[in-house]
């Protein structure tokens, strides 16, 4: 029985079967005597900033730790990320609720020269480049890549119009080696949509020499190439913990325990996590990587880098198989405008791949204001546009998925080097927003990191040279000239378009100014009382679909009997803040319907977390107004199974 889809709120019995709510209830840190917003804010802010470096002895509540299950000494606990004492203590409570004896579970420890977290374009490019350098210089470095997806490529989702610039440098013979890059871009269209019409506009892109691909397929091929060179890749293992030594240097990661039941006890098939220690650790987890964010916070990498916060968008994508007469391989289409309003940045893409397959998707910037906006429904609505629906009629959907992407660009790049390693790829954020391409820069960042790492391990030069090599590479030039397009839309849709046209046609990236981003995405959500709920049309089951149907096509699954991997720093905030102030936006922006508000017997809305549905997109981690939701990594092997995304 596939228990992944949560039912609607109508049938309670099936709900209990098919979904599981957060089992953990913790006492609040301070008892809120009234539910007014100010006291809630105090609750949140005080819990968040309460000093976690206190040296009081381990109380019963703090024994154990949620992922590894063994007692850690107070010093180490204080080091564990700046999540705020409230959340962290809650985790301690979780561990305390477990039926552990409290003794440390010994974990096996494996040593490598380089440990890479994430088998995506950046991680695999870094691994391949390292092994190539080893061959050139006739040395050997052991390289290990851990990947939380069940296979390499299972969690990879992207448009994707691929610029082979980095691949040409990394593996120049990719064509002879049968890389899954077959369809060159044949046409490039750009439409401005109104409700009923499509207005062709001059295409701002130059996609000559680029290909329409499935990034999941390309990454699988990269995985094969990496294994041929001797890289050890372990899919199905989720890096959940960063290991530090006594000087606060990162010495590796630990995978999470497998076989832990929902209540925290060990199941029959309990398997403790494994420590993978590396002389250098590279984080390549993709956009908003959970460990990368921890490292960025701990070492203040945002302030040391380009300085601005990161901004994001949520991309939702379907791969369709359409009838042959409607398919034109290599055809590329982007649209702006309808169904989004002028205050929301976003648009669609429609790329024709091979074998009658069409990738169609919708991207919504997460700094939208209207809490009633539902990116998934906007996507479904978009497909009914008279210029789009004829293509999809008579077709079938093969796969569905969603993932957030970086939109911060040049201004948001953090300083990527920390003691013991570096951050590469979208975890740092090298996506070129006006081009809507990030795969080539992610790969290049991995390659540059590999070269710096090799010099560090082989010659002893400092890893900080990676930052300098980034700044003197084509990544920097590209992102620098692309830096003002997205921030221009802070002034509105048409000013944004006008400024973008100015940048593109007249200034050509040589503008003397650098625009700043607006508020962080989670702060941009306005109060629900300022808006009315949006009446989205019902799905027709032919072109548009409901979430459970789409979710089924993502092949996502998690073992249901494990602790929910979506943690609330304060379990009261959904009821006290999210619902009254913002009308529960997480029930709308999550493309997998993980968050549902269900009325209990007394009519109060309670948050139900269907963690089993999660697509690992990280939208909740980004967009939750109080940053109360923390996305942590579930048991390895779970999550979506993308093959052609």
Query: Is residue 271 close enough to count as binding other proteins by CB under 8 A?
Result: yes
Q: How far apart are the first and last CA of the chain?
A: 26
Interface pattern 3-22 for other proteins (x via CB under 8 A): -x------------------
Size of interface with other proteins, in residues (CB under 8 A): 31
Report the phi/psi class of residue 618: left, alpha or beta, with left for phi > 0 and alpha for psi in -120 to 50.
Answer: left
Query: Is residue 108 close enough to count as binding other proteins by CB under 8 A?
Result: yes
3-state helix, strand, coil in the chain (%, to 5): 30, 20, 45
Positive or negative: CA dihedral 75, 76, 81, 86: negative
Query: Is residue 254 close enough to count as binding other proteins by CB under 8 A?
Result: no
Distance in Å, CB of 644 to other proteins, minimum: 6
Q: Could you say which of 85, 93, 130, 154 contacts other proteins (CB under 8 A)?
A: 154
**Residue whose tokens read 């989004």:** 340
Query: Is residue 150 close enough to count as binding other proteins by CB under 8 A?
Result: yes
Query: Is residue 531 close enough to count as binding other proteins by CB under 8 A?
Result: no
> What single-letter DSSP state applies at residue 603?
S
Within 357-416, which residues bind other proteins (CB under 8 A)? 396, 398
Distance in Å, CB of 321 to other proteins, minimum: 8
Residues 6+ apart with CB under 8 A from 555: 399, 640, 641, 642
Nearer to other proteins, 142 or 500 (CB): 142
Q: Could you say which of 19, 68, 125, 255 contacts other proteins (CB under 8 A)?
A: 255
Q: Could you say which of 217, 292, 613, 627 contacts other proteins (CB under 8 A)?
A: 217
Within 439-468, which residues bind other proteins (CB under 8 A)? none
Q: Could you say which of 25, 55, 196, 269 contacts other proteins (CB under 8 A)?
A: 269
Distance in Å, CB of 24 to other proteins, minimum: 24
Alpha-carbon gap, residue 486 to 407, rounded angstroms: 7
Q: Could you say which of 232, 294, 464, 546 contacts other proteins (CB under 8 A)?
A: 232
Query: Is residue 68 close enough to count as binding other proteins by CB under 8 A?
Result: no
H, E, C per residue of 228-267? HCCCEEEECCCEEEEEECCCCCEEEEEECCEEECCCCCEE
Nearer to other proteins, 633 or 644 (CB): 644
Q: What is the CA radius of gyration of the chain?
A: 24
Q: Could you say which of 136, 138, 268, 325 contacts other proteins (CB under 8 A)?
A: 268
User: Dihedral (C-alpha) 496, 164, 157, 636: value to the nearest 10 degrees?
Assistant: -130
Distance in Å, CB of 280 to other proteins, minimum: 19
**82 sits in which H/E element:** none
Alpha-carbon gap, residue 471 to 216, rounded angstroms: 29
**621 sits in which H/E element:** helix 619-623
Query: Is residue 171 close enough to count as binding other proteins by CB under 8 A?
Result: no
Choices 48-56, 57-65, 148-156, 278-286; region in contact with other proteins by CB under 8 A: 148-156
Full DSSP string of 168-230 = HHH-TTTTTTT-S--EE--EEEEEEE-SS-EEEE------TT-EE--HHHHHHHHHHHHHHTT
Distance in Å, CB of 527 to other proteins, minimum: 39
Choices 77-85, 268-276, 284-292, 343-351; region in contact with other proteins by CB under 8 A: 268-276
Interface pattern 585-624 for other proteins (x via CB under 8 A): ----------------------------------------
**108-117 and 143-147 strand pairing:** parallel
Nearer to other proteins, 48 or 322 (CB): 322
Alpha-carbon gap, residue 22 to 153, rounded angstroms: 29
Distance in Å, CB of 634 to other proteins, minimum: 14
Query: Is residue 151 close enough to count as binding other proteins by CB under 8 A?
Result: yes
User: Dihedral (C-alpha) 176, 180, 182, 187: value to the nearest 10 degrees?
Assistant: -140
Within 534-563, which residues bind other proteins (CB under 8 A)? 552-553, 555-557
| Tokens (6 digits) for 450 | 């590999």
Choices 51-59, 131-139, 149-157, 501-509; region in contact with other proteins by CB under 8 A: 149-157
Within 300-319, which residues bind other proteins (CB under 8 A)? none
Maximum C-alpha span of the chain: 71
The DSSP bridge partners found for residue 500 are none
**Residue whose tokens read 């990661």:** 253
Q: Output b/e per residue, 218-248; b: 16+ Cβ within 10 A.
A: bbbbbbebbbebebebebbbbbbbbbbeeee
Q: Could you say which of 189, 267, 298, 606 contacts other proteins (CB under 8 A)?
A: 267
| Tokens (6 digits) for 475 | 């990544």
Nearer to other proteins, 122 or 258 (CB): 258
Phi and psi at residue 594, to the nearest 5°? -75, -35
> CA nearest 433: which of 215, 159, 73?
159
Distance in Å, CB of 585 to other proteins, minimum: 29
| Cis peptide, bond prior to residue 586, ω within 30 of zero | no
Distance in Å, CB of 558 to other proteins, minimum: 9
Choices 37-45, 72-80, 134-142, 229-237; region in contact with other proteins by CB under 8 A: 229-237
Report the half-sphere exposure of 52 (CA within 13 A, side-chain side).
22
Q: Could you say which of 82, 230, 259, 520 contacts other proteins (CB under 8 A)?
A: 259
Query: Is residue 106 close enough to count as binding other proteins by CB under 8 A?
Result: no
Nearer to other proteins, 171 or 253 (CB): 253
Q: Could you say which of 2, 10, 510, 538 contacts other proteins (CB under 8 A)?
A: 2
Nearer to other proteins, 117 or 449 (CB): 117
364 touches 162 (CB < 8 A): no
Q: Could you say which of 58, 78, 97, 110 contacts other proteins (CB under 8 A)?
A: 110
Distance in Å, CB of 331 to other proteins, minimum: 21
Binding site for other proteins (CB under 8 A): 2, 4, 108, 110, 150-151, 154, 217, 232, 234, 237, 255, 258-259, 267-269, 271, 274, 276, 321, 396, 398, 552-553, 555-557, 641, 643-644
């Amino acid at each position: 029985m596939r228990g992944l889809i949560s039912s609607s709120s109508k049938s309670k019995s099936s709900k209990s079967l098919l979904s599981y709510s957060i089992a953990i209830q913790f006492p609040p840190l301070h008892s809120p005597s009234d539910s007014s917003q100010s006291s809630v804010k105090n609750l949140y802010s005080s819990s968040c900033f309460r000093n976690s470096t206190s040296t009081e002895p381990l109380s019963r509540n703090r024994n154990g730790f949620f992922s590894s299950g063994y007692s850690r000494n107070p010093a180490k606990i204080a080091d564990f990320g700046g999540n705020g004492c409230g959340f962290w203590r809650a985790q301690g409570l979780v561990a305390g609720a477990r039926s552990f004896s409290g003794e440390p579970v010994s974990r096996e420890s494996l040593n490598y020269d380089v440990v890479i977290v994430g088998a995506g374009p950046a991680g695999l490019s870094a691994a391949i480049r390292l092994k190539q350098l080893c061959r050139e210089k006739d040395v050997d470095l052991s390289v290990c890549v851990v990947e939380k997806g069940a296979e390499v490529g299972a969690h990879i989702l992207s448009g994707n119009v691929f610029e082979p610039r980095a691949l040409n440098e990394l593996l120049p013979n990719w064509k002879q080696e049968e890389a899954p890059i077959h369809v060159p871009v044949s046409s490039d269209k750009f439409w401005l949509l109104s409700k009923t019409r499509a207005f062709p506009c001059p295409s701002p892109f130059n996609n000559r020499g680029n290909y329409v691909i499935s990034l999941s397929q390309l990454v699988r091929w990269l995985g094969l190439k990496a294994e041929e060179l001797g890289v050890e890749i372990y899919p199905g293992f989720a890096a959940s913990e960063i290991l530090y030594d006594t000087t606060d240097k990162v010495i590796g990661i630990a995978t999470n325990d497998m076989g832990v039941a929902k209540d925290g006890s060990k199941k029959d098939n309990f398997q403790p996590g494994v420590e993978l220690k590396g002389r250098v650790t590279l984080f390549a987890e993709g956009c908003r990587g959970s460990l990368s964010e921890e490292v960025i916070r701990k070492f203040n990498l945002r302030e040391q880098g380009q300085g601005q916060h990161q901004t994001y968008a949520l991309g939702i994508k379907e791969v369709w198989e359409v009838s042959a007469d409607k398919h034109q391989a290599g055809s590329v289409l982007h649209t702006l405008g309808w169904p989004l309003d002028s205050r929301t940045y976003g648009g669609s893409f429609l790329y024709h791949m091979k074998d009658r397959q069409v990738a169609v998707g919708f991207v919504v910037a997460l700094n939208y204001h209207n809490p009633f906006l539902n990116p998934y429904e906007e996507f479904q609505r978009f497909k009914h546009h008279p210029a789009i629906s004829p293509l999809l009629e008579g077709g079938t959907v093969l796969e569905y998925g969603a993932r957030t992407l970086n939109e911060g660009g040049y201004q948001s790049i953090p300083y990527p080097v920390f003691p013991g390693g570096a951050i590469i790829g979208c975890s740092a954020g090298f996506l070129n927003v006006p081009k809507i391409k990030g795969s080539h820069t992610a790969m290049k960042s991995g390659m540059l990191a590999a070269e710096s790492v090799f010099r560090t391990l082989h010659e002893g030069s400092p890893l900080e040279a990676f930052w300098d090599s980034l700044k003197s590479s084509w990544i920097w030039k590209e992102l620098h000239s692309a830096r003002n397009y997205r921030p221009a839309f802070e002034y509105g849709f048409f000013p944004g378009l006008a400024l973008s046209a100015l940048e593109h046609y007249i200034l050509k990236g040589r503008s003397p100014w650098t625009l700043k981003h607006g508020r962080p995405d989670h702060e941009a959500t306005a109060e629900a009382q300022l808006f009315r709920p949006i009446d989205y049309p019902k799905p027709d089951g032919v072109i548009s679909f409901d979430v459970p149907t789409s979710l089924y096509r993502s092949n996502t699954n998690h073992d249901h009997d494990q602790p929910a991997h979506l943690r609330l720093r304060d379990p009261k905030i959904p009821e006290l803040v999210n619902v009254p102030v913002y009308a529960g936006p997480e029930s709308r922006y999550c493309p997998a319907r993980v968050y549902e508000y269900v009325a209990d017997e007394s009519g109060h809305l309670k948050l139900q977390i269907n963690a089993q549905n999660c697509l690992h997109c990280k939208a909740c981690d980004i967009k939750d107004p109080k940053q109360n939701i923390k996305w942590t990594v579930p048991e390895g092997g779970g999550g979506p199974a993308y093959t052609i995304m």
